[in-house]
Each structure stands twice: as structure tokens, then as C-alpha cells.
Amino acid sequence: MKNLRIAISAVFGSMWIAASPSAIAQAAPPSPATLFSLSGVYQSIPDGTTLPGGFRNSGSPEQISITPAAREQMKSVDLKDDSWKTCRPVGNFRMMARSGTVMEFLSAGNMFFLLFEDFTHGFMRKVYFGRTHEQRSTQTSDADIPRTKLTWFGDSIGRWENDTIVIDTVDFNEDTWLNDKGVPHSEAMHTVERIRPIRGGEALEYRMTVDDPQMLATPYAYVRYFKKIDREIEDDNCVEEH
């Protein structure tokens, strides 16, 4: 009888898995298979549009509230130095908010990549599960060159909270801005992103929260929705002529 129960639940369990990616996360410990169910290409919906279910973008990097220190530092900012214009990454906080951002969610075992179609400005992000920031790799392909601690994209670690992936990122360099006006951030910037599949996996709800006590008067959050699209990302490379 016990075996029969297991067999029946196994059969229905497998059907359930196929039907609903979010159900897996709730019913079983997150696994590579769970991450894999999110693989695909997604595009953020334009502001002002609404997905069925009433899902709408909210907030914007332009609405952040900054400290006097940030205001002072902005006096020396030259908008010509915007990394957007010089074919460098614009940073996770600005990139994820941009209308029409296309990215591929690529799972790879106990981690996933976010590959951006606008590769130069978004580049490629890597999110690791099952480790802390302190356990980050220090090794590089060249033993003589130490790994840089502070990077354009920071160090991202992920964990599951029910059906939501929570990404915690620290260790950013100071080469990106918080918005198009050139608001700087410090190395103390800390972001928390929450990604949740909605509408049976056809879309992702994405919430970005940023904190930087040196530059932000208060933590700030925005929400974006990404629709799954049926195409590959293209090779779109911005090239600055040297």
C-alpha cells in the first residue's frame, strides 16, 4: 500500500512539475531542475503597460533620494563620462530598470547566468547558490594576478524563499552610476533582487532594492516585469573606437 502511494504520488508529482515551475520550489527543495525551469529569454515590459493580472512596472532609478555627500560628489560629474556612452557596463541597478531590456536566463547547475542582449552595457551576470560572499573564489586563470574584489557587477549569491529567488550582491566598484543623471554610489552599495515566476512561468516579477548609506538617504526599490519571448538574444556589441 505504501509503495502504491509512492507510485501514485510520483506520477502525479511529475505531472505537477511539468505544469508549474513555481510549484516545484514550493513542494521540493530547490534543485538544478528548478532553476532550469526558468531558462529562457525575457524582455522587460514598457512602463505604463499592464500584464494580465494587473502587473505593472513601478519606481525608477531617477526617483532615488540622495545624501548631501552624493550631491556634493555630483558637482564633479561630467555626463560625457557616462559608461553608457563609452561602451562600458552601466551597472545592475540602471540596466535592469531600462525599458525593453532583453536577457537570457541560463541555468547551469547550482548557479545561473543572466546574459544581456545589449552585451556591452549589461554584460553577463553570474549568481551562485550554496555559498556566502566570504566563500567567493579568489583564484584566477593566471596565478600571478589576484582576483579583483570590487567589480562592475559585484558578487551575487542566490537563495530561494519559497518560489522566489533572492539575489544578494555586494563588492561593486565605483565606476557605475545609480541613474542617468550621474548619481554616484560607493563601494558600500548593497542590492537585493527578488525574482519570482508569474503567470505559469510566462513572465518574471523582478524587484530591485538598493542601499548605500553614504549616497542614499534611504534604501530604494523599483519593480519590473519581464515577459518570456520566443527568440534568441542577438550579439549586440557596442564598440568605442580607440
Partner 1 sequence: MRKACYLTLSIALLAALSWAQTIPGENWTGYYMMARGRDLTGLNVVSPNFGGTVVAHLQPWAKLKRDSVNGVLDDNGFVCKPAGFLRAYGSPFDTNGFFAPGKDRMTIIYWPTDTVLFRRIYYNREHPRNLKPSWNGHSIGRWEGDTLVVDTIGFNDRTWLDGGGAPHTEDLHLTERMRQIQHNGNTYMEIVAQVDDPRTLTSPYTFSRYYKKQNYEMEDYVCNDAVDFYKEWREQERRARQAQSQPAEAK
- Among positions 56-115, residues that touch partner 1 (CB under 8 A) are 86-89, 106-109, 113, 115
- Among positions 202-241, residues that touch partner 1 (CB under 8 A) are 232, 235, 237, 239-241
> DSSP string covering the chain, please?
-HHHHHHHHHHHHHHHHHH-HHHHHHHS---HHHHHTT-EEEEEPPTT-EETTTEE-B--GGG--B-HHHHHHHTT--GGG-TTTTTS---HHHHTTSTT-EEEEEE-SSEEEEEESBHHHH-EEEEEES--GGG-----SSTTSPPPSSBSS-EEEEEEETTEEEEEEE-B-S-SBSSTT--B--TT-EEEEEEEEEGGGTEEEEEEEEE-TTTBSS-EEEEEEEEEESSPPP-B------
Size of the site for partner 1 (CB under 8 A): 53
- Among positions 130-159, residues that touch partner 1 (CB under 8 A) are 136-137, 139-142, 147, 151-153
CB of 89 to partner 1, least distance (A): 6
Nearer to partner 1, 32 or 213 (CB): 32
Nearer to partner 1, 87 or 217 (CB): 87
CB of 1 to partner 1, least distance (A): 11
Interface pattern 27-66 for partner 1 (x via CB under 8 A)? xxx-xxxx-x--x---------------------------
Is 105 in contact with 96 (CB distance < 8 Å)? no
CB of 73 to partner 1, least distance (A): 21
Nearer to partner 1, 10 or 52 (CB): 10
Q: Which residues bind partner 1 (CB under 8 A)?
A: 2, 5-6, 9-10, 13-14, 16-17, 24, 27-29, 31-34, 36, 39, 86-89, 106-109, 113, 115, 119-120, 123-124, 126, 128, 136-137, 139-142, 147, 151-153, 175, 232, 235, 237, 239-242
